[in-house]
Amino acid sequence: MNGSHLSHRAKAIRPSPTLTVSALAGEMIDRGLDVVNFGVGEPDFDTPQYIKNAAKKAVDDNFTRYTSSSGILELREAIAEKLWRDNGLICNPRDILVSPGAKASIINILLAVCDPRDEVLIPAPYWVSYTSQVEMVDGYPVLLPTQEEQDFKITAEQLDNQLRELSNPKALILNSPNNPTGSVYNARELEDIGKICLKYNILIISDEIYEKLIYDNLKHVSIASISPAIRENTILINGVSKAYAMTGWRLGYAAGPTEIIKMASRIQSHTTSCVNSITQKAAVVALREDDGSVEKMRQTFEKRRNFLMKSLQEIPHVRCCKPGGAFYAMPNVSHYLMENKRNIRNSQSLCEYLLKEYHVAIVPGSAFGAPDYVRFSYANSLENIEKGLHRFAEGLSSLL
Ligand SMILES: Cc1ncc(COP(=O)(O)O)c(C=O)c1O
């Protein structure tokens, strides 16, 4: 079989660079090597017991059949309650679509709204799947570069200038708290951005999957809550993966305008049908009950972040914005990509060198459209963070 049968779509898709580092680190670990893995994009905690109990009950109750494609009503009601409680949004359960992960929610929405060559704006650094998903629906990703000095956030003015240049702008994908930078947009910034989106009549796809992981007493603000007009133009994306340590359970959701949700739901009915029925029952309990685990995990992440930031500051020539949320930090390593003993010139080669010779796995910033940076995930124990940072510092210093 040769490649001639492959679609242009398949050929255009690049392998996920974050998974590539994890895979290589995984192989080294399997070979018995002691690798500190900062590449992981998921909490290292177990799913809280009260949620697991709900899943066991669902199995015992034989809740094991197909459900309605958009998700069981009980869950969509629990999501509507959550949107009111946490985000001040009144949402009809009819306007919510439950999908196998927020990743699936986003592509369902893109399939429902994008025509070929529609332009979708994506602030860079960006989560790797956004660009690939836009390409998969034959849309065109337009990157909006951000600066470290502005905490990696786009400005309304920048968005306005870019939109003026485009011929088919369809949507902006906003992600706060952000993967990979940890940046968090405040209400004022969101309002300014929302107004520009209204001016050009483009949709906002607001990925809020890291909502619960936010530090320094910052408060997560959903752009949908800024004004009724912005809300009508926004599809809010969220899920249970990161907040409840449920990455393998696969459940995300989209909430937004009736027609878009209805069409996205129709698309899902012809692809994955519905989310695993047991996961849906577990998610109802995750959202409605609270045994304190989410807050405990958040506090642990905050301690790790503080420790990681302190350790990074001690490394010469490394600069890092303080991440306000999620569990990532993205230090600038450009100094080490200039003159060095190994002739390393980009973040990909730097990460390969650090992994192979210092047994520390970090993701190259080039994966996220930020070639002068590397991404650390601090979903790892304090002990490992200390060990890994020591290796990172040693690896860097021996380059000079
Ligand atoms: C920004 C962002 N959005 C969405 C997702 C996907 O989450 P899910 O597990 O719900 O598909 C991730 C996972 O890494 C993410 O980082």
Lining residues, ligand 1, CB within 6 Å: 41, 101-103, 127, 175, 179, 207, 209, 239, 241, 247, 252
Closest atom of ligand 1 relative to the 175 alpha carbon: 1
Mutation choice for ligand 1 from 44, 179, 209, CB with most ligand atoms inside 8 A: 209
Strands (E), 92-225: 96-99, 119-124, 140-145, 169-175, 203-207
**CATH number attached to the domain at 49-288:** 3.40.640.10
State how far the Cα of 147 lies from the Cα of 134, in Å rounded to an integer: 23
Ligand 1 center from residue 209 Cα (angstroms): 6
What atom in ligand 1 is closest to the CA of residue 252?
Answer: 10
With respect to CATH, is domain 3-46+293-397 assigned 3.90.1150.10?
Answer: yes
State the Cα–Cα distance between residues 183 and 213, nearest whole angstrom.
11
Task: Give the pair of three-digit tokens for residue 104.
Answer: 């699936």
* Mutational test site, ligand 1, from 79, 97, 109, 129, max ligand atoms within 8 Å of CB: 129
Question: Tens of pLDDT along the chain (400 residues)?
Answer: 567 899 988 888 877 766 777 788 889 999 999 999 999 889 999 999 999 999 999 999 999 999 999 999 999 999 999 999 999 999 999 999 999 999 999 999 999 999 999 999 999 999 999 999 999 999 999 999 999 999 999 999 999 999 999 999 999 999 999 999 999 999 999 999 999 999 999 999 999 999 999 999 999 999 999 999 999 999 999 999 999 999 999 999 999 999 999 999 999 999 999 999 999 999 999 999 999 999 999 999 999 999 999 999 999 999 999 999 999 999 999 999 998 999 999 998 999 999 999 999 999 999 899 999 999 999 999 999 999 999 999 999 999 9
**Ligand 1 nearest-atom number relative to CA 104:** 11
Question: Could you identify the atom of ligand 1 that is nearest to the CA of residue 41?
Answer: 14
Residue with tokens 């930078």: 181
Between the CA of residue 342 and those of 126, 347, 375, what are the distances in Å? 29, 13, 21
Nearest one of 299, 231, 269 to 98, comparing CA atoms: 269
- C-alpha 112 to ligand 1 mean position (Å): 19
- Note the Cα 204 to chain centre separation in Å: 16
Query: Is 106:129 a contact under the CB 8 Å cutoff?
Result: yes
CA-closest residue to ligand 1 atom 7: 102
Show contacts of 304-307: CB within 8 Å, 24+ apart: 304/378, 304/380, 304/382, 304/385, 305/182, 305/215, 305/329, 305/378, 307/382, 307/385, 307/386
Sheet holding 363-364, edge to edge: 328-329, 374-377, 363-364
Nearest CA to ligand 1 atom 13: 41
361 in Cβ contact with 36 (< 8 Å): yes
Domain residue spans of the chain: 3-46+293-397, 49-288
